[in-house]
Amino acid sequence: MNIPDYFGSMVFNDKVMKERLPAEIYEKVRIAINESKRLDLDAANIIAAAMKDWAIEKGATHFTHWFQPMTGITAEKHESFISPKGEDNVIMDFSGKELVKGESDASSFPSGGLRATFEARGYTAWDPTSYAFIKEDVLYIPTAFCSYSGDALDQKTPLLRSMQALNRQAIRIMNLFGVKNGRVKTTVGAEQEYFLINKEDYDSRKDLIFTGRTLFGAMPPKGQELDDHYYGSIKPRVASFMADLDKELWKLGVLAKTEHNEVAPSQHELAPIFTTTNISSDQNQLTMEIMKKTAARHGLVCLLHEKPFKGVNGSGKHNNWSICTADGVNLLEPGETPYENAQFLLFLCAVIKAVDDYQDLLRISVATAGNDRRLGADEAPPAVLSIFLGDEITSILEAIENDTSYDAAEKEQLKVGVHVLPKFPKDTTDRNRTSPFAFTGNKFEFRMLGSASTISSANIVLNTIVAESLKSYADRLENVDNFEDALHSLIKKTIKDHKRIIFNGNGYDDKWIAEAEKRGLLNLPSTPDCLPYLISEKNIKLFEEHKVFNHAEIIARYEVYLDNYNKAINIEAQTATEMLKRDIMPAILKYSKELSDSVNAKRAVFNSINCNYEKSVLTRLSEINSEVYDKTILLDQINADTAAIQNAQKKADNYKSKVIPLMNEIRKLVDEAETMCDTAYWPYPSYGKILFSV
Ligand code: ADP
Ligand code: MG
């Protein structure tokens, strides 16, 4: 079958709806999608019937409301279409009510206290802006997930609210530029990094199974220093995985576009074509799931953890983000005329101001135990927020700030709304890969996201903080006498106030961290460091003001994020002690015995024989094992003490300051022992084997 024939073949998309729905119902759906309006029950009934017929023709037997609780992954509960008819028969049935709303036992999902124990029910509500699809004979209906009192228990609800917030404020700005009845949405293309390893290697490592990353492992003789993997030729087995993955994703209407090798050995990337933010978010969740399933069919395991292997690059997600009008005009694309240029500069400045004002929220939006291992390490972005604009735009902004011309040939001062900006080349080359937040010609690329997380958190924050900038701009620009002058001084003021966030240099350089500190930028290296900022007065006000979260919802999220972190580290510590006690220390002991036996055997032949190798390795291994033993006992103790702390923030702080450093110390010793032991004695496949054998 050729690709256009099966692309989206499992999606109840616009084309299918147009074909299968009565014209007036199709119109209602379009309005519901475009204007976030509710559908009446009669319409829902007709849509449900059409959806069911279509799904059954495609082999579906069940349906599910599909939602994104605060676990970061998706949840589903399959229900069959069957409904009894008479005594012995069934019919396939699916009502508008079932489409629109579902009840779900919320008690097994994190709620951060939003779900009172006496009211365990939550409900799921259809999101018509993201198309339903069929996967493994089940009709999936994308939904939002709320408590019975209407509080968001998921990632989709606040994401949709944040898109509306941005729309509300951007419309005010567009009105000032003479665009009436506009609508504005954000678009996202999320590049996804991942590792592929052999299933049997995965199965023989408890750390990968329980925590998603290796807790021990010495560096192989060859790492990524040769850069021979990046964009290198794709091995047949991986190529066949990628082909299969693309095919599965295309059937589901996911615009998978590019597949290539990444920097680290066994690391790869998939980039989709961008689309509306909430669809992009749903599709990224699907992509991660299909990656795992497809890998399994190829005898592989897809690792989505941010730092599966110490010493080699971690995996992230690049969140390419822009704002566009209903007619598809990209508002971060510099236009042709002075007017378009002015509008572009205003939106650009709105983002600059937002990132500077809300560095803390952006940092929080990517904070997880897994991503803590990646941010700041190797090639990954540092934990400090800054914006890369490139030389051209930076010099334009400088000209505006200093009332000068923007190039030597030009004598006149650069005036917003009067002058045409010089054409600058679109940065498609990722010239500065070290910036956490880079302008790449017509969009921003936020690169701090972790590979395992949903992209919703980051986009909720991005949309909301830019909405806030736009609101402050609209408040100031509405009702001024001279719009052009006011606009010029507003842009000038933004540059003056926020230029500290602009940094075009090497973000991985230690000197930058010192410089950032001088500039007063926030450096929040870990999740427990940054989470308290979520509930600062300033941030609560922001979310309430834009109706993205109410007070209770923010507090709940703070609790859930802390809890997720605490659980993750606790599992790591427990896995580590289990590996140490049952596998690693016994293995070192066995090899030590082998060495001792060798000494005895050799000496039995003749007493003065040289046993230097045995003796020196034996000595070091015995030292290591004894030290590891002491530290393991201590780790058990500290981990138990930490688990007993009631206050979640204190608990997280303890994991960070006590448990993690101790685990790191133990790891150092164990990794040294690994390099000294006979491979046959070591209980786990080595980095060398895992990373270079697919
Ligand atoms: P490449 O890196 O292949 O040259 P780009 O850098 O233009 O391509 O795009 C990288 C990612 O950014 C892709 O997922 C792409 O779809 C996405 N992207 C491009 N334009 C936009 C936009 N206006 N809004 C959001 N994402 C975009
Ligand atoms: Mg890119």
> Any idea what the CATH number is for the domain that residue 260 is in?
3.30.590.10
What is the number of the ligand 1 atom nearest to the C-alpha of 272? Answer: 14
116 and 33, same structural domain?
A: yes
Helix, coil or strand: residue 437: strand
Q: What is the mean pLDDT of the chain?
A: 92
- Could you tell me if the CB of 320 is within 6 A of ligand 1? yes
Q: What secondary structure letter does DSSP report for 409?
A: T
Q: How confident is the model at residue 50, as a pLDDT? A: 96
The Å distance, Cα 411 to ligand 2 centre, comes to 36
Q: How confident is the model at residue 11, as a pLDDT? A: 97
Q: Residue 664's closest CA among 562, 589, 588, 569?
A: 569
**Cα distances (Å, whole numbers) of residue 471 to 185, 303, 348, 611:** 16, 41, 14, 77
Spell out the residues 6+ positions from residue 330 whose beta carbon is closer than 8 angstroms to its own.
187, 322, 323, 324, 442, 443
User: Does 629 map to a domain?
Assistant: yes
Computed on alpha carbons and rounded to an integer, the radius of gyration of the chain in Å comes to 28
Neighbours of 573 (CB within 10 A): 24
Token pair recorded at residue 299: 């005898």
- pLDDT class of 675 with cuts at 50, 70, 90: very high
510 and 602, same structural domain?
A: no
User: Does 656 map to a domain?
Assistant: yes
Q: How confident is the model at residue 380, as a pLDDT? A: 60
Return the H-helix or E-strand segment holding 517: helix 510-518
350 and 255, same structural domain?
A: yes
| Among 21-35, 104-118, 546-560, the least confident range | 104-118
Q: How confident is the model at residue 428, as a pLDDT? A: 46
- pLDDT class of 424 with cuts at 50, 70, 90: low
Cα separation of 497 and 500, whole Å? Answer: 8
Helix, coil or strand: residue 64: strand
**Strand extents, DSSP E, 200-349:** 256-261, 267-272, 275-276, 300-303, 316-325
Work out the average pLDDT over 357-383: 87
685 and 606, same structural domain?
A: yes
The Å distance, Cα 166 to ligand 2 centre, comes to 24
CATH number of the domain enclosing 55: 3.10.20.70
Q: Which of 443, 462, 463, 466 to mutate to test the pocket of ligand 1 (most atoms within 8 A of CB)?
A: 443
271 and 180, same structural domain?
A: yes
The Å distance, Cα 333 to ligand 2 centre, comes to 16
Q: Which amino acid is at 64?
A: T
Cα separation of 525 and 522, whole Å? Answer: 9
Atom 23 of ligand 1, residue of closest alpha carbon: 322
Residue pLDDT, tens place only, 160-217:
999 999 999 999 999 999 888 789 999 999 999 999 999 999 999 999 999 999 999 9
184 touches 328 (CB < 8 A): no
The residue range of the domain holding 476 is 162-214+229-404+434-549
**Cα distances (Å, whole numbers) of residue 438 to 390, 428, 682:** 8, 11, 44
**Is residue 339 packed enough to be buried (19+ CB in 10 Å), middle (13-18) or exposed (0-12)?**
middle
Q: How confident is the model at residue 339, as a pLDDT? A: 78
Q: How confident is the model at residue 599, as a pLDDT? A: 97
Q: How confident is the model at residue 296, as a pLDDT? A: 97
What is the number of the ligand 1 atom nearest to the C-alpha of 426? Answer: 7
Cα separation of 323 and 427, whole Å? Answer: 18
Angle between helices 537-545 and 456-477 (to 10 degrees): 80
DSSP assignment of 345-379: HHHHHHHHHHHHHTHHHHHHTT--HHHHTTTTSTT
Q: How confident is the model at residue 685, as a pLDDT? A: 97
- pLDDT class of 429 with cuts at 50, 70, 90: very low
Q: Residue 349's closest CA among 493, 477, 494?
A: 494
265 and 233, same structural domain?
A: yes
**Cα distances (Å, whole numbers) of residue 693 to 227, 264, 313, 599, 666:** 17, 13, 18, 36, 27
- CA angle, 339 as apex, 333 and 341 as ends, to 5°? 35
* Domain end position, chosen among 132, 154, 176: 154
Token pair recorded at residue 54: 């279509």
Into how many domains does the chain fold?
Answer: 3
User: Does 511 map to a domain?
Assistant: yes
Cα separation of 372 and 381, whole Å? Answer: 11
Q: How confident is the model at residue 379, as a pLDDT? A: 55
Work out the average pLDDT over 369-373: 94
User: Does 558 map to a domain?
Assistant: no
666 touches 582 (CB < 8 A): no
Token pair recorded at residue 149: 């009192």
Residue pLDDT, tens place only, 220-277:
887 777 666 776 778 899 999 999 999 999 999 999 998 888 878 899 999 999 999 9
Cα separation of 332 and 346, whole Å? Answer: 9
621 touches 587 (CB < 8 A): no
What is the number of the ligand 1 atom nearest to the C-alpha of 318? Answer: 11
User: Does 388 map to a domain?
Assistant: yes
Half-sphere exposure of residue 624: CA atoms within 13 angstroms, side-chain side? 28
278 touches 156 (CB < 8 A): yes
369 touches 527 (CB < 8 A): yes
Closest ligand (CA of 279): 1
Atom 11 of ligand 1, residue of closest alpha carbon: 189
Cα separation of 391 and 502, whole Å? Answer: 11
DSSP assignment of 6-37: HTTTTEE-HHHHHHHS-HHHHHHHHHHHHH-P
* Domain end position, chosen among 130, 154, 178: 154
528 and 594, same structural domain?
A: no
Spell out the residues 6+ positions from residue 118 whose beta carbon is closer than 8 angstroms to its own.
none
- Could you tell me if the CB of 440 is within 6 A of ligand 1? yes
302 and 377, same structural domain?
A: yes
**Averaging pLDDT over each range in 150-154, 413-417, 430-434, 646-650, which range is the top one?**
646-650
* Domain end position, chosen among 549, 584, 601: 549
506 and 398, same structural domain?
A: yes
What is the number of the ligand 1 atom nearest to the C-alpha of 273? Answer: 16
Q: Residue 659's closest CA among 578, 566, 530, 555?
A: 566
User: Does 378 map to a domain?
Assistant: yes
- pLDDT class of 376 with cuts at 50, 70, 90: low
Helix, coil or strand: residue 267: strand
- pLDDT class of 430 with cuts at 50, 70, 90: low
233 touches 245 (CB < 8 A): no
User: Does 190 map to a domain?
Assistant: yes
385 and 529, same structural domain?
A: yes
Cα separation of 69 and 75, whole Å? Answer: 7
**Averaging pLDDT over each range in 322-326, 407-411, 620-624, which range is the top one?**
620-624
User: Does 392 map to a domain?
Assistant: yes
Cα separation of 137 and 33, whole Å? Answer: 26
Spell out the residues 6+ positions from residue 473 whose beta carbon is closer than 8 angstroms to its own.
173, 346, 350, 490
The Å distance, Cα 318 to ligand 2 centre, comes to 7
Q: Residue 525's closest CA among 311, 648, 375?
A: 375
- Could you tell me if the CB of 271 is within 6 A of ligand 1? yes
Residue 292, Cα to own-chain centre: how many angstroms? Answer: 16
Q: How confident is the model at residue 280, as a pLDDT? A: 97
Closest ligand (CA of 447): 2
Token pair recorded at residue 455: 């992209």
Q: How confident is the model at residue 188, as a pLDDT? A: 98
400 and 511, same structural domain?
A: yes
The Å distance, Cα 227 to ligand 1 centre, comes to 24
Cα separation of 483 and 418, whole Å? Answer: 12
Helix, coil or strand: residue 296: helix
Return the H-helix or E-strand segment holding 690: helix 687-692
Q: How confident is the model at residue 423, as a pLDDT? A: 66
Neighbours of 92 (CB within 10 A): 15
- Does the pLDDT value for residue 318 go beyond 70? yes
Token pair recorded at residue 93: 């049935």
467 touches 165 (CB < 8 A): yes
The Å distance, Cα 442 to ligand 1 centre, comes to 9
The Å distance, Cα 427 to ligand 1 centre, comes to 11
Neighbours of 398 (CB within 10 A): 15
- Does the pLDDT value for residue 408 go beyond 60? no
284 and 181, same structural domain?
A: yes
Q: What secondary structure letter does DSSP report for 154?
A: B
